[in-house]
Structure 1
């Protein structure tokens, strides 16, 4: 299924993990907590074997820091992209979670886990592929028949049913903080029901090959569902026609991350009136989801898109709409169905679009499914097994040092006037930091599970959708988390003005209790700085310290910000990846701003923390050099050309190589650390550098 997920609380994450890792032999709990007592301080904090010393670090530092690893590492057949740090840690976490789930399934409780029985039931059902092959076609057939036998009057209820199993068609609705009042949750209407990942795939001439492949994929899926090949081809043409019509007025990925575009507050009455033109009973749809939105504010992220939905409803026969709805069910449920559907779904989205050569092992898929379904239940067990209090204390200490460095750096920014600088500091002081795991874990008491995997999937989907929608009209609960504890990632929420670091990422090689400040600040420190900087990127800067969409900028500072941001857009737009696909500077703008700001602030914080230790030589490099090596090696990665091309077109993060190079060329401290002459590739002259925060 497509990988566009709904926005959650204005989250911007450090990394987009798009593949499941392969098995790791290393599951030692001390290592998972970032600590190996058998190794002395500083041991192996830099991977010397990864370094390509045949390359001048002032010419291409990414190749210098990662070249030998890239040369020698063979991509697993089922992994079109693999990161030396992110995926290695994810491997460990996956293996730990696998061991926990297998123990629970065997009736053992190696660590305290309130929901060990539910975890065991869900995992066991997922692993029972024989039962899935027997049960899934029947259940899928029932949904397809229900769609086929419906009338237009059934459409609101039908779409609500699909929404509850996370197979939204035409549009979707979810809970989100009110952009103008972050203490209240409101309903947000968002675009949905397009199988390709970015509108450009539908409308740009250069993507004609992908559209043809997509048509072939839709045809094959309908054939698997029992439609004869001739009609399946007609179905595919119809689906593509409707999706293209929707896509033309959909928001691009870059627009999705711009709150000035996506904030359009209105009322249910106004939205109902819009849908009334198509005789679609929006109130019935809303009620079928268990919602009462009368008198509440609603945010429509893409008004023109909703108008297009109305046009589609008015101009498309209901027989054709039913085919479109059947496709949305098949496409968004494919990974949960029987093998024939899973294989074809993988062949298009992973094989063609990303260049993968094999599917992940079933246990990997099932561990990921459990984490997605019962993330905090599994996360509690993961934390009990792996996470150390000393590591949490040390990282929090780093966070506070980086906060201080960010504030001190504000005084050096001559493009900020005093009024805006003061407002920026006020916002910084209101940041919330969450570390490791929630104070209170989710309650899954009402979740009903059986040994039928697809029924479990649909029950979990309905449980998650209702859990989300029940927040509408209530005060915001800022104790909730947007990622499970074992996730190898971090995020910033503009609505809550918080940075969040799950236990999953606080491990070697990102963080080690015995690592020097240089290594820790270069790796996890730059991640911390990145998330803080998101509060001041082109999207986050539109929100104040309370998480409200408020313009706190003077005109002069705003103009300077825009100019300096455009410099970064232009810089990254010159980089090409894969088969020559350019990075989209607009799409990646917020992340590139955060990368640049995060690295600079982490470096300034490192100098504060290390003091005289910056001169200390470990593994042949002084502290300044190890800081930058640690940063670069945290991004060592390898991918197929197909993956790189798709990533460049659809993802808000730049390619790993240019996340490193793009940040380093703008930071004079790097050139000083490696004695790079001004004008060299990694040390451009001042007028060619892009500096913001």
Structure 2
């Protein structure tokens, strides 16, 4: 199943997490005596040479990456706690599981039980996806195959085009259907087109052949060769990740008739009807110039190749839920080859992720939902989310908004008219903490404790129906696009900034820590999300949530010059020998990181109300804010996961989310006495100052 298109900007490189990790009854911080694990630092390193290692070096050197993960970090420690808590919730819920159970707890328990019944799953082999594969075999025309692609949001079928429903960026009072390019089994077009990924592409060919063999597809090796060649042609026609970041270029509304004229050769009516969008009159196209090429490619490709490709996509999308040979092949390709993970996670962890949501094999990036993720979120927050945390976060948000307001007013490069619009937009943001006000209704979702594949498709159908059924109604401003158990935050299309319960734990938020640490961690996260509304993409959305240019030409030019300067800095960073960060791809996240930490420092100063700042363990308040930020990013990835991240992820690797930010903030130089000659030193005139 392809993921929905979500018009939101995430904090990034993260995975499902937990609520507050520390014992609520304790008054001791989780890390050290005041919220920082000083034993994990390496203070023999000069802060001005490598601030990330200064704060984290000893921990990095002594902490191995677990064999069943592509990374290790303090954020993943949050995940481990969440997994344990969700495991306990689901184990307990199985006691309430009956066939066609009606309670929320029973449905969660039955779904988890269906995943954990590995003996039953092994006995079935490929039988659970036999109906989907038979449908492909019987779809002997391109029109029939296009109709199967229309099931991509409700079944395991793949599609050349991804469909999603979200707020209309030009008319935020209503929803719109968005259509974007798809069709690739590897993480990005570069994996097909660049020699650096030849090894991964060869492994992918073998993987497709294995899936087709396991699925009973004839001539599997030759078919796999055709499938990979087909996807390579799709990659050649597709836009790059950088091109996809432009919200103006990817907003192309048109009628379905105009879509048919733009991209003839694809059965759009059959495709949309299968998506339950047969009466659709208006649609927003993303990568406009790619659509005619993809449709022409589809029209020219032999039906047998498209059938084999669809069979491979079905097997790939379903492999996680099938017998061990499918799961082993999936692990070897997606986790081991692409991310460097050495050992498959134990079954109960995979079961937790299947029901609740979690890592989808992309390093630490959270890109997918669990099948009953919102139901699990309700059970989770009922048990683990402390109300006191919500109040503290709301106060921190208020302080950060005040700091941002003051910074915008003082900007020396922005004219009064643009400032006025920026301040108006800042004031419109709604802050959401913990969990949604309205829970998702699962009453009509049928869950059987012995039908895992059926549970997946029924849950997907109900989820898609939720979005389709509200398409013509008013926009729900209380809606969330991220589940409560998620360890992430986002700035969304509803002009909302959301902090799920899952992110409100150490090291991001510790109610028992020194306030400076919390400002450096959760404060900078809050500032990061606020800044996303004004990064290179977010700045194109106005105070009403509409895609509109509200900048004077001179102000826009000044912003772009500063952003370009920041992009050049990041493009010079080299996480691995010969592997550079793409400063254009990571632009929005880098701007948000810089703005977030800058705002957090300002807000910390405001919170002191002129009172003297205590020195703790020889560290000043400013030093503790900076080191709180650095500790929040403590962790490391395998080399393969880094390559994958740099190629396809809009977030910079964690070391550069620290070093790339602090060396642009004047107060960091003052706090740590950074001087010319230090490796991170940037002359004052060359430091990037945006917000």
TM-score, normalized by the shorter chain, greater than 0.5: yes
Kept in 2: contact 1:41–1:514 (CA 8 A): no
Show CA shifts across 1:289-318 (max 9, x none): 222444x32101012222122212321121
Kept in 1: contact 2:507–2:632 (CA 8 A): yes
Match of 2:388 in 1: 390
Kept in 2: contact 1:11–1:491 (CA 8 A): yes
Q: Is 1:76 aligned to 2:76, yes or no?
A: no
Q: What are the residue-to-residue correspondences of 1:397-436 with 2, within 5 Å?
A: 397-436=395-434
Show CA shifts across 1:71-93 (max 9, x none): 11111101111222x11112112
Change (3 A) 1:678 1:591: same
Deviation larger for 454-463 or 549-558: 454-463
Instruction: Tell me the distance in 2 between the aligned counterparts of 1:527 and 1:474.
Output: 33
Q: Is 1:338 aligned to 2:338, yes or no?
A: no
Instruction: Tell me the distance in 2 between the aligned counterparts of 1:243 and 1:430.
Output: 43
Show CA shifts across 1:208-262 (max 9, x none): 232222212212222222346xx22211221112112111121222222220121
Residue 547 of structure 1, CA deviation? 0.9
Instruction: Tell me the distance in 1 between the aligned counterparts of 2:316 and 2:435.
Output: 33
Residue 373 of structure 1, CA deviation? 1.5
Instruction: Tell me the distance in 1 between the aligned counterparts of 2:190 and 2:296.
Output: 21
Match of 2:241 in 1: 253
Match of 1:66 in 2: 56
Q: What are the residue-to-residue correspondences of 1:220-619 with 2, within 5 Å?
A: 220-227=210-217, 231-274=219-262, 277-278=264-265, 280-294=266-280, 296-371=281-356, 372-450=370-448, 451-493=450-492, 495-612=493-610, 615-619=613-617
Match of 1:219 in 2: 209
Show CA shifts across 1:131-162 (max 9, x none): 11223511222321221122214234322234
Kept in 1: contact 2:237–2:294 (CA 8 A): no
Instruction: Tell me the distance in 2 between the aligned counterparts of 1:338 and 1:223.
Output: 14
Instruction: Tell me the distance in 1 between the aligned counterparts of 2:496 and 2:673.
Output: 37
Q: Is 1:17 aligned to 2:14, yes or no?
A: yes
Change (3 A) 1:613 1:68: farther
| Secondary structure in structure 1 of the residue aligned to 2:35 | coil
Show CA shifts across 1:499-532 (max 9, x none): 1000111112211222222011011000000000
Kept in 1: contact 2:254–2:282 (CA 8 A): yes
Residue 273 of structure 1, CA deviation? 3.4
| Secondary structure in structure 2 of the residue aligned to 1:188 | strand
Residue 166 of structure 1, CA deviation? 4.7
Instruction: Tell me the distance in 1 between the aligned counterparts of 2:563 and 2:232.
Output: 32
Kept in 2: contact 1:613–1:623 (CA 8 A): no
Q: TM-score, normalised by structure 1?
A: 0.93
Instruction: Tell me the distance in 2 between the aligned counterparts of 1:223 and 1:525.
Output: 52
| Secondary structure in structure 2 of the residue aligned to 1:629 | helix
Instruction: Tell me the distance in 1 between the aligned counterparts of 2:171 and 2:156.
Output: 28
Residue 43 of structure 1, CA deviation? 2.6
Counterpart of 2:27 (choices 28, 34, 37) is: 37
Kept in 2: contact 1:518–1:610 (CA 8 A): no
Match of 2:43 in 1: 53
| Secondary structure in structure 2 of the residue aligned to 1:82 | strand
Residue 33 of structure 1, CA deviation? 7.3
Kept in 2: contact 1:151–1:318 (CA 8 A): yes
Kept in 2: contact 1:496–1:546 (CA 8 A): no
Any unmatched runs of 5+ in structure 2?
Answer: 357-369
Q: What are the residue-to-residue correspondences of 1:607-686 with 2, within 5 Å?
A: 607-612=605-610, 615-686=613-684
Residue 612 of structure 1, CA deviation? 4.9
Instruction: Tell me the distance in 1 between the aligned counterparts of 2:479 and 2:237.
Output: 33
Residue 103 of structure 1, CA deviation? 1.0
Change (3 A) 1:39 1:319: closer
Deviation larger for 137-146 or 626-635: 137-146
Kept in 2: contact 1:75–1:81 (CA 8 A): yes
Counterpart of 1:90 (choices 79, 82, 106) is: 79
Q: Alignment RMSD, CA only?
A: 2.1
Any unmatched runs of 5+ in structure 1?
Answer: 22-26
Match of 1:24 in 2: none
Instruction: Tell me the distance in 1 between the aligned counterparts of 2:509 and 2:483.
Output: 19
Show CA shifts across 1:391-430 (max 9, x none): 1111100100000000101122211111111111010010
Instruction: Tell me the distance in 1 between the aligned counterparts of 2:661 and 2:25.
Output: 29
Instruction: Tell me the distance in 1 between the aligned counterparts of 2:590 and 2:686.
Output: 16
Instruction: Tell me the distance in 2 between the aligned counterparts of 1:167 and 1:485.
Output: 28
Residue 185 of structure 1, CA deviation? 0.8
Change (3 A) 1:158 1:473: same
Residue 485 of structure 1, CA deviation? 0.7
Instruction: Tell me the distance in 1 between the aligned counterparts of 2:30 and 2:285.
Output: 56
Instruction: Tell me the distance in 1 between the aligned counterparts of 2:328 and 2:20.
Output: 38
Change (3 A) 1:395 1:320: same
Query: How many correspondences in the alignment?
Result: 672
Instruction: Tell me the distance in 2 between the aligned counterparts of 1:337 and 1:211.
Output: 24
Counterpart of 1:159 (choices 149, 158, 173) is: 149
Residue 465 of structure 1, CA deviation? 2.0
Instruction: Tell me the distance in 1 between the aligned counterparts of 2:672 and 2:476.
Output: 47
Deviation larger for 390-399 or 298-307: 298-307
Instruction: Tell me the distance in 2 between the aligned counterparts of 1:442 and 1:158.
Output: 28
Kept in 2: contact 1:59–1:682 (CA 8 A): yes
| Secondary structure in structure 2 of the residue aligned to 1:174 | strand
Show CA shifts across 1:482-509 (max 9, x none): 111111110011x211110001111122
Kept in 1: contact 2:20–2:510 (CA 8 A): no
